[in-house]
């Protein structure tokens, strides 16, 4: 099964007020979230990657989960400290699926309520041998 990628927006500035108070003064909340995730026990089958922007600026902090042949999800309005465990749990459940579709009731609450987008798997056309 293909490895899942948890993309973390490091340029996100917006976070809940409580998270802003906890965020180190020299970091953006998105970069702080990336650092916390990178230092965590990353679930098997999940790779964490920093990205400069997920274009969810009014919904930061944001992350996206993707893998070849699977649906991609974008989640936002995350609190780096409070939602850390839920993001890791959701990533693990996503990685364990063949298509990226985790049953709604099996998703962490933050993934049920704060999904910004669901994107179909990319289909790569098969080249014809008759060319």
For 35-71, what is each residue's pLDDT tens digit?
A: 999 999 999 999 999 999 999 988 889 999 999 999 9
The rounded distance, in Å, linking the Cα atoms of 58 and 5 is 23
- The closest of 115, 104, 24, 112 to 77, measured between CA atoms, is 115
pLDDT surpassing 70 at residue 123: yes
The domain segmentation of the chain, as residue ranges, is 4-119
* 4-119 topology per CATH: Glutaredoxin (3.40.30)
Mean pLDDT for the chain overall: 88
Angle at which helices 84-95 and 29-38 cross, to 10°: 60
DSSP 37-72: HHTS-PPTTEEEEEES--S-GGG-S-EEEE-TTS-E
Structure pTM?
0.86
3-class DSSP state for residue 89? helix
């Amino acid at each position: 099964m293909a490895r899942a990628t948890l993309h973390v927006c490091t340029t996100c500035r917006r976070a809940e007020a409580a998270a802003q108070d906890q965020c180190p003064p020299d970091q953006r909340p998105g970069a702080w979230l990336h650092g916390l995730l990178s230092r965590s026990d990353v679930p098997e089958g999940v790779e964490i990657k920093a990205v400069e922007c997920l274009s969810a600026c009014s919904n930061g902090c944001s992350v996206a989960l993707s893998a070849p042949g699977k649906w991609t999800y974008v989640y936002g309005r995350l609190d780096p400290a409070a939602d850390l465990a839920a993001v890791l749990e959701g990533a693990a459940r996503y990685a364990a699926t063949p298509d990226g579709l985790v049953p709604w009731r099996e998703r962490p609450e933050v993934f049920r309520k704060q999904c910004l987008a669901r994107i179909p798997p990319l289909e790569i056309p098969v080249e014809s041998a008759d060319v």
